Structure 1
Amino acid sequence: MFSYCSDPDTLGTVRWFSCYLTNGVHWSFYLSFLKVLVLLAITAPVALSFGFGGAMAARSHIPPVSWLGKGYIAIVRGVPDIAFFLFFVIALDQGFEWIRHKVLCPGWTDPIRQGSDFIVCQQAKLPLGSAPEWAHETYGFFLAVITFSIVFGAFAANVLFGGMRAVPHAQLETAEAYGMNRRQTFWKILVPQMWVYALPGLSNLWMVLIKATPLLFLLGIEDIVYWARELGGTKTSRFTDYPHGDWRMWYFLVLLLFYLGMTRVSELGLEKLMRRLSHGQATSGGELLRKETTA
């Protein structure tokens, strides 16, 4: 990046580190932090949408819909996250390719399953073999977002379902007595009040989601864990212009500080949101706020 970086062997300590930390590989490391933040920004609302849909299905008065919602919550929550991530990404990828294969290659006669191999026509590959590198990375990131959303959506569904059941039933009966139909009662009475009961569980789920982002490494995505391991390992002059010993401890210390900072900022933001939602509510948090304002 700097003009004096052309000959690393002649550099002093400060200049050596300035060149080392600004080379092209390290910029990939820095961009991987942005990748984690983008994953959180996309996955959180999508997972919450899955959770809200699952909670609505679970409390449905139609038995098949209720079974579907409760089954989604029970099955996904009952499978270890790592096992689900490793299995579902492969299944989802093969599902997309199978659909494309049926549409784009109707004349294909060979079996798709050949032993342990899954073989489709070249046109059905996702992404295509001729696609640029960014297309492969974007597709892998897309699969990761869907997988994260389905997994954490099930946990969110369980939390929201509990939040809906925690709203005093007398308030729903009062709404019906005032002439509200079931839809109006749900959207104007139940949903606005359930958040104060669900937020503690959703807060914990958000923290777990932050801590789960290193699972991107297991999905083959070059995230911060991948680059910390690659850059921190011992390097000799045969493989790099900036040889060094085993620095993995320092790279993973950076990840530690990053995640601690993320969780601390989240705690402060969620605390403010909880105070705002508790205002005027007939809960212990709302009662505490009333005492503070009257004191």
Structure 2
Amino acid sequence: MFSYCADPSTLTGLTWLSCYLTTGKHMAFYTSFGVVLLLLAITAPTALAFGFGGAAAARSRFLPMQLFGKGYIAIVRGVPDIAFFLFFVIALDQGFEWLRHQVLCPDWDQPIRQGNDFVVCQAAKLPLGNAPQWIHEVYGFLLAMLTFAIVFGAFAANVLFGAMRAVPHAQLETAEAYGMTRRQTFWRILVPQMWVYALPGLSNLWMVLIKATPLLFLLGVEDIVYWARELGATANPRFTQYPHGDWRMWYFLALLIFYLGFTRVSEVLLERLMQKLTHGQATTGGEAQRKAAT
């Protein structure tokens, strides 16, 4: 980046460090922090939408819909998160390619499952083999994002289902007594009040989601963990013109500070949101606010 960085072998001290920290690979490392934030910004509302749909389905009086919702919620129990992530990435990728294969290659006369191989026609592959590198990276990121949304959507569905059940049933009965339909009661009475009961669980889920972002590394996305490991451990001149010893501890210390700072900011914002939601509510938090005001 700087003009004096032309010959790294002549650099020492802070000059060497300034050049080292502005290499192309370090710029990719800095950009990967944005990738993590982008993942959270997209995944959180998507997972919340999945969770709301799952919770609403679990409350449905239509038995197949109810079984679907409760089955979706049940996937959060008993299976490690990493198994979910590895399964969904493979399943989604092969599912998309299978659908494209059925549409684009109807004359294909060979089995798709050939032993341990999943074989589709060339036109059905995602992304296409001749696609630019950035398309491969975007596709991998979208698969990871959708996987995060499906998995954490199940956790959110469990939280929201419990929050819906926590809303006093007498209020729902009163709404029906005033002539509201079941749909009106759901949207005007149940949904607005359930958030105060759901927020503590959703806050914890947000923290878990933040801590789960390093799983991007296992899903093939070059995230901050990938670059911290590569840049911190390298002493190979073929990888960088600035070889050094094992600096992984310092790189991972930077990740530690980043995650601690980010979770602290999240805690402050969530606490303010909780205070706003509980204001005037007949809950423990609302009662505490009334006592503090007097």
Q: TM-score, normalised by structure 2?
A: 0.98
The 2-side partners of 1:286 and 1:215 are apart by 38
Over the matched positions of the two proteins, sequence identity in percent amounts to 78
Q: Could you report, residue by residue, the CA deviation over 1:241-285 in whole angstroms, capped at 9, with x for unpaired residues? A: 101000000000010001001100000000000000000100010
- In structure 1, the partner of 2:109 is 109
- In structure 1, the partner of 2:245 is 245
Q: Could you report, residue by residue, the CA deviation over 1:64-117 in whole angstroms, capped at 9, with x for unpaired residues? A: 111110011102443211111111111110111111111111111111111101
- In structure 1, the partner of 2:283 is 283
Amino acid in structure 1 at the alignment position of 2:273: L
Structure 1 position 205 matched with structure 2 position 205: yes
Q: Contact 1:98–1:120 (CA<8 Å) still a contact in 2? A: yes
Q: Note the aligned Cα RMSD (angstroms).
A: 1.0
The 1-side partners of 2:182 and 2:87 are apart by 40
Q: Contact 1:57–1:69 (CA<8 Å) still a contact in 2? A: yes
Q: Could you report, residue by residue, the CA deviation over 1:130-152 in whole angstroms, capped at 9, with x for unpaired residues? A: 00011001001111111101100
- In structure 2, the partner of 1:229 is 229
Q: How many residues align?
A: 294
Residues 1:144 and 1:2: Cα distance change in structure 2 (over 3 Å): same
- In structure 1, the partner of 2:175 is 175
Farther-moved stretch of structure 1 (268-277 vs 113-122):
113-122
Q: Contact 1:233–1:247 (CA<8 Å) still a contact in 2? A: yes
Q: Could you report, residue by residue, the CA deviation over 1:43-63 in whole angstroms, capped at 9, with x for unpaired residues? A: 000000000000000011111
Q: How does 1:117-196 map to 2 (within 5 A)?
A: 117-196=117-196
Q: TM-score, normalised by structure 1?
A: 0.98
Farther-moved stretch of structure 1 (27-36 vs 68-77):
68-77
The 2-side partners of 1:68 and 1:238 are apart by 53
Residues 1:161 and 1:238: Cα distance change in structure 2 (over 3 Å): closer
SS of 2:217 mapped into structure 1: helix
Q: Contact 1:77–1:155 (CA<8 Å) still a contact in 2? A: no
Shift, 1:238, TM fit: 5.2
Q: Contact 1:232–1:249 (CA<8 Å) still a contact in 2? A: yes
The 2-side partners of 1:240 and 1:161 are apart by 51
- In structure 2, the partner of 1:46 is 46
Residues 1:181 and 1:261: Cα distance change in structure 2 (over 3 Å): same
Residues 1:77 and 1:144: Cα distance change in structure 2 (over 3 Å): farther
Q: Could you report, residue by residue, the CA deviation over 1:219-255 in whole angstroms, capped at 9, with x for unpaired residues? A: 1110000000000003144543101000000000010
- In structure 1, the partner of 2:55 is 55
Structure 1, unmatched stretches of 5+, are none
Shift, 1:180, TM fit: 1.4
SS of 1:79 mapped into structure 2: coil
- In structure 1, the partner of 2:274 is 274
The 1-side partners of 2:182 and 2:98 are apart by 42
- In structure 1, the partner of 2:96 is 96
